Structure 1
Amino acid sequence: MVTVFMIFNLARADSVLVEGESFQELGGWGVDQQFMDIMGSPFLIAHGLGNPVKDAITTVAFPETGEYRILVRTRDWVGTWKTPETPDNFKAVGTPGEFELIINGKKLPLKFGGESAEWHWQDGGKVFVDSKQVVIVLHDLKGFDGRCDAILFTTDEKMLPPNKGGEMAEFRRRLLGQAEQAEEAGDFDLVVTGGGIAGICTALSAARLGLTVALIQDRPVLGGNNSSEIRVWLGGEVNKSPYPRVGDVVRELEPRQRGNPGTAEIYEDEKRISLVEAESNIKLFLNRRVNEVQVESGHIRALMARNTRTGDRMRFSGKWFADCTGDGTIGFLAGADHEISSKGHMGSSNLWSVRDAGVPSPFPSCPWALNLKGKDFPGRNQSVGQWSKPGLDSLGRWFWESGFNWDPIADGEKIRDWNLRAMFGAWDTLKNTDSLYPNHKLEWASFISGSRESRRLLGDVVLSKEDLVGARQWNDACFPCTWSIDVHTPNPLFGKGFDGNEFISTANMGEYPRPYWAPYRCLYSRNIENLFMAGRDISVTHEALGTVRVMRTCGAMGEIVGMAASLCKKHNTVPRAIYHKHLEELKQLMKSGIGR
């Protein structure tokens, strides 16, 4: 049995708080940090595709034996769609996410995860703890994405733990025994937040040009949408004239094979980590999510990041900062000017795949999923998605996308869950209504969303569709755009009955003279003087995002940001001054490149 290592789970003699993500053995449960800024914490998710996942187990030190109340922070993730007003084809019946709690070998009589649509503290009754070393087991019942945030044991009969905001954060910090002051991670030349292709290229570029760099990523792997967790292939082209060396670092990160979604090994997660760790000027911080920015007079001084497994906080001081989060998180927290489309924006996808198992592979009925029994969707009845073939080739591809009219930040969990309901509803229909694919099984699905659009931070230039189509030239042109103006909207062929809640998209491809070299002035904030950005959160309009958002293009942005940051250090200046005073030096670096 695992011995206790989290003594900070104990702070008060009558209360013990156990965070789900801190379990010593996760078993088959995954850590989901995507929505912690909204609901308050990372949580464990039982993403078993219909097969109950292996138990999560941890051992915790209790102050005393005796009787304790138990409260579990959880939710019924389909409860949102159980109201009387919910249309029939949206309505969820049943509870997919139930799990049990086992304390020192004793299973509690209640099931968790089916009581309320909102995150809440579900009353688990009482348990007698007869040992100060307590083994806690999370036992998944269904394999359909049950969720456990935290477990509270208390002898206080009247305690009502806070459930939102700063009050809940302070409650958790106090019970976990965490320090009020964050640990100092160090003082860096450049702090890069976001470990996707843009962030990796930013960090490598800056480090190779002599800067000390912190690279902060909130997942255990690097690569973002091109990691094994999300599995989107790299789009766009680099190494184009007149700066053929721009893109050399992107090429170093390229997987040798292409798959969409493909299997995990295709994405070579370990190669990205090895490249970063080979640079002595980079310190890599995985599993850390930035949730606070310290700003003085429009100048970022430091970031605060929380460890998504332990909850510990670290403070990152720096001279310059790069927002490569995709969501513009650093800029938003710093008060940077930004735009976000509340409706009519591109959605998010959670890719999925099936395979022939070679043996009969039944799949349970999913009455809580989208009811697609009377609907066509890509992969059913010869219906296809854009650029795909009938049948299995149309399942789980990029066009399984939703959230076009929901807030991409505040409704992120809802968007992901709608994608899951569409996937499970489609597979239930094919297997159990149409009696197809008797030997096929769901092989993989991402519970981490692949996002396309959220916040866009505003720079001195906001690149527009008109700039692209009109071939507007810039004296600070620095990264090549080669992808079509690819803006996704709901596919009208599959939207009937799901108006405003569509889950299949179409790509609207606009043309312009390519390659188009976009300006450096899109890559820094217009009002936060030491903030760069690279990735899909740069300074563009909704339409122009359609071309710049693909990952090779984002990586090229990162290379330029690293170069510009090196000039900021050389001249002790801010990103804007590189354009006004040192543009020719930047162009020389672009000609030379910084690839290996």
Structure 2
Amino acid sequence: MKRRNFFKQGVKSVLGVSLLPVVGNLTAKTDDIERDSDPFWADEEFKGKAGKLARKKTLDFEVVVIGGGMAGICAAVSSARLGNKTVLIQDRPVLGGNASSEIRVTVNGVQSLKNKHVVERETGILEEILIENWYYNEQESYPVWDHVLYDFVKRQDNLTLMLNIQAFDVVMNDNKIKSAICRQTTTETEFTINASIFIDASGDGLLAKMSGAEYRIGREGKAEFNESYAPDQPDNWVMGDCIMMITKDVGRPIKFKPPRYAIPFDAATAFKDKHRKIKQIKEGFWWVEIGSNTDIIGEREEIKHKLLANFYGVWDHIKNSGEFPEAENIALDWIGSVPGRRESRRFMGDYILTQPDMEEYRHFEDTVAYGGWSLDEHCPGGIENLTEPASYFHSRFKQVYEIPFRCLYSKNIDNLMMAGRNASVSHMALSSSRIIATCALMGQAVGTASAFCLKYGATPRQVGQKYINELQEQLLRDDSYLPNRPANDQLDKARAVSVIFGSSTLSGDVKNLINGVGRAEVDKINHWQSNGLNAELQLEWKNKQSLTSVELKFDTNLQRKMMMHKNPAKNKGQVIGVPPELVKNFSVEVRIAGQWQEVGKVEENLTRLVKVNFNEVKTTAVRVKLKDTYGDPNIKVFEIRCY
């Protein structure tokens, strides 16, 4: 085995480690001294030969997730929920990545579809987080959002969170990663983190790069994938970084003087032919963007300075040109210091998702996620190229497209998976799939897949080839949605009921609750809705069933947006708070010896998917008593399962 050297080793070097689960307690090693004390918070300092601090620790996990954005959070939580000993590594002091308070990009997802639904909101772990945020953070505070994410991750069993730590190197064994070498800036500590499975959801993918995983940067030419929107010839351009801002009305005229490094804004060129527009002055302008045709990662600090300089030039024009009188009382309240990144490395899997795959809505037997943001190609030069439009087009979809599992693991590194904007897609496909909520779905998919890697001692590729049906069934059970792939879990005893009925029906059919589709589809009804509150569902079997769990999927109106915005004006059409359709209080009963016994009760429910677990019982009937909602006068349910 060898540790990969950041500066000397080439991309062709490769890795290796057993995929069998790592066992044993966490141990810390400092200068070859092995200690049983807590590996994270030990107070002792050990001196190196030169008198310098030399804190070095070794930690053992089963799954390592690199990157604490929404993709990484969903990957880590899904892995931990399925029993994997998981660590989430984030190089910033807060979680959320582009969606955090440091950058403040909206958690957009599938919207603006050209069909009746328009919106097909993402469910699963991401939706749990968004609902929880509205419950605790109706004021739409980004710093509070940071701590909603922090609490969501910290309370998860089997999951360790490490902040302010970057994986900068790897230890390899053949074509597998054995260890991630990490440094935590706040503790001056170097960690060697061993695991069986590694998930790079960091965006730029430094760990994946150091492993030797094959990747691409830039735009493919039109001919390679027959992509009509691609350039005629391939090049190195990537979509740019940008910064956000938020303003406030101070109630009196407020002047603005730009910093000395501000770059004057050429408004005449920028606004010619409507290439750029200033529609509002509440939040940032996404077109204050700078890309690169050489090395967007290596140029990050230079790009940040240019972004700030250009932004202050734009704001100076707004405040001092006289063309925006509505800005007289408006002052800058926050401006980002960390650029949000759209694109850098894309790591290659066994399949590369392309523009034709999306536009033709190709079905994949190994689908594990979906997308639907429009194809959205930005001007390569960004604000440094004012003669061209900031965004060339928004090519909208009629329906969601599928994302296959083969795009989410490395083609040449056996135990590496990817999730987010570094997945295996073409540049043109990335213009859609890069959207945060779509990245989160990929995260839940690979986090779930890691459990099957460990269960079967398999590589991600082997999971895709041999166990894809199990992976898809688990994703569906955990409230992911897979287009053209209804659930068919043979372990779900609700599918074998003799009778299922509800106390009343306003719309839908109670039998829809076991049809394998847990949400509304265009022109398809997959729900049962009661006429009024205090409704009941009942399932009957001819023979006794051994049960330990009843699982339900409720209504949260997936055709309505739910994200938090920097600009409250964008909340039009949304609900500020928990979805009123969501069931709030309910209980589960089983019939034993002719008597109903309560085995579970849920109050102040905050999730669409609820798994009610209880000690094993033998019964011929289950009854769910649905008391009320967060405001809707009727109760709607999409699925019930029994295990």
Shared topology, TM-score over 0.5?
yes
Q: Does the 8 A contact of 1:344 with 1:489 survive in 2?
A: no
Residue 364 of structure 2 corresponds to 474
Name the CA distance, whole Å, in 1 between partners of 2:331 and 2:188: 36
Residue 56 of structure 2 corresponds to 182
Residue 84 of structure 2 corresponds to 211
Name the CA distance, whole Å, in 2 between partners of 1:338 and 1:278: 35
Q: Which amino acid aligns with 2:56?
A: A
Q: Does the 8 A contact of 2:60 with 2:194 survive in 1?
A: yes
Equivalent of 1:392 in 278, 281, 293: 281
Residue 243 of structure 2 corresponds to 350
Deviation per residue, 1:393-416 (Å, 9 max, x gap) = 5x6222221124352111111111
Residue 227 of structure 1 corresponds to 100
SS of equivalent to 2:393: strand
Alignment partner of 1:573 is 2:442: no
Tell me the C-alpha RMSD between the 2 structures.
Answer: 3.3
Residue 347 of structure 2 corresponds to 457
**Distance change >3 Å, CA 490–CA 512, structure 1 → 2:** same
Name the CA distance, whole Å, in 1 between partners of 2:62 and 2:250: 51
Superposed counterparts of 1:215-364, under 5 Å: 215-237=88-110, 247-254=123-130, 256=133, 264-265=141-142, 268-341=145-218, 343-364=236-257
Name the CA distance, whole Å, in 2 between partners of 1:508 and 1:257: 33
Superposed counterparts of 1:580-591, under 5 Å: 580-591=465-476
State the Cα distance separating 1:428 from its structure 2 match: 2.6
SS of equivalent to 1:545: helix
State the Cα distance separating 1:319 from its structure 2 match: 0.4
Q: Does the 8 A contact of 1:404 with 1:489 survive in 2?
A: no
Alignment partner of 1:409 is 2:283: no
**Distance change >3 Å, CA 425–CA 307, structure 1 → 2:** same
Q: Which amino acid aligns with 1:330?
A: L
Equivalent of 2:330 in 418, 436, 440: 440
SS of equivalent to 1:280: coil
**Distance change >3 Å, CA 265–CA 467, structure 1 → 2:** closer
285-294 vs 265-274, greater mean Cα deviation: 265-274
Q: Does the 8 A contact of 1:373 with 1:433 survive in 2?
A: no
Name the CA distance, whole Å, in 1 between partners of 2:128 and 2:50: 45
SS of equivalent to 1:230: coil
Superposed counterparts of 1:439-588, under 5 Å: 439-489=329-379, 505-506=390-391, 508-588=393-473
Deviation per residue, 1:249-297 (Å, 9 max, x gap) = 1101216569xxx964486111111111111200000111111111121
State the Cα distance separating 1:469 from its structure 2 match: 1.6
Residue 26 of structure 1 corresponds to none
Deviation per residue, 1:354-397 (Å, 9 max, x gap) = 2222344333343422122664657xx997846x62x525x622
Q: Which amino acid aligns with 1:229?
A: E
State the Cα distance separating 1:551 from its structure 2 match: 1.2
SS of equivalent to 1:577: helix
Q: Does the 8 A contact of 1:257 with 1:266 survive in 2?
A: no
Name the CA distance, whole Å, in 1 between partners of 2:392 and 2:185: 35
Name the CA distance, whole Å, in 1 between partners of 2:259 and 2:472: 57
Name the CA distance, whole Å, in 2 between partners of 1:538 and 1:319: 20
Name the CA distance, whole Å, in 1 between partners of 2:293 and 2:66: 27
State the Cα distance separating 1:511 from its structure 2 match: 3.7
Name the CA distance, whole Å, in 1 between partners of 2:265 and 2:473: 57
Name the CA distance, whole Å, in 2 between partners of 1:508 and 1:491: 16
435-444 vs 576-585, greater mean Cα deviation: 435-444
State the Cα distance separating 1:440 from its structure 2 match: 2.6
**Distance change >3 Å, CA 450–CA 549, structure 1 → 2:** same
Residue 158 of structure 1 corresponds to none
Name the CA distance, whole Å, in 1 between partners of 2:144 and 2:270: 29
Name the CA distance, whole Å, in 2 between partners of 1:231 and 1:382: 29
Name the CA distance, whole Å, in 2 between partners of 1:365 and 1:561: 46
State the Cα distance separating 1:213 from its structure 2 match: 0.4
Q: Does the 8 A contact of 2:88 with 2:162 survive in 1?
A: yes
State the Cα distance separating 1:593 from its structure 2 match: 1.0
Name the CA distance, whole Å, in 2 between partners of 1:385 and 1:491: 14
508-517 vs 531-540, greater mean Cα deviation: 508-517
Name the CA distance, whole Å, in 2 between partners of 1:484 and 1:433: 34
**Distance change >3 Å, CA 304–CA 175, structure 1 → 2:** same
Residue 429 of structure 1 corresponds to 317
User: How many positions carry a matched residue from both structures?
Assistant: 409
Name the CA distance, whole Å, in 2 between partners of 1:455 and 1:257: 33
SS of equivalent to 1:474: coil
SS of equivalent to 2:391: strand
Q: Does the 8 A contact of 1:245 with 1:593 survive in 2?
A: no
Name the CA distance, whole Å, in 2 between partners of 1:216 and 1:572: 24
State the Cα distance separating 1:339 from its structure 2 match: 0.2
SS of equivalent to 2:177: strand
Name the CA distance, whole Å, in 1 between partners of 2:194 and 2:475: 28
**Distance change >3 Å, CA 175–CA 366, structure 1 → 2:** farther
SS of equivalent to 1:478: strand
Equivalent of 2:262 in 361, 365, 369: 369
**Distance change >3 Å, CA 188–CA 495, structure 1 → 2:** closer
Q: Does the 8 A contact of 2:76 with 2:447 survive in 1?
A: yes
**Distance change >3 Å, CA 464–CA 383, structure 1 → 2:** closer
SS of equivalent to 1:229: coil
Superposed counterparts of 1:133-172, under 5 Å: none
Deviation per residue, 1:312-367 (Å, 9 max, x gap) = 21111110000000112211011100001163321111111222223443333434
Name the CA distance, whole Å, in 1 between partners of 2:396 and 2:178: 42
Deviation per residue, 1:161-193 (Å, 9 max, x gap) = xxxxxxxxxxxx9988131x7212x21110001
Percent identical residues:
33
Residue 73 of structure 2 corresponds to 200
Q: Does the 8 A contact of 1:363 with 1:428 survive in 2?
A: yes
Name the CA distance, whole Å, in 1 between partners of 2:404 and 2:248: 44
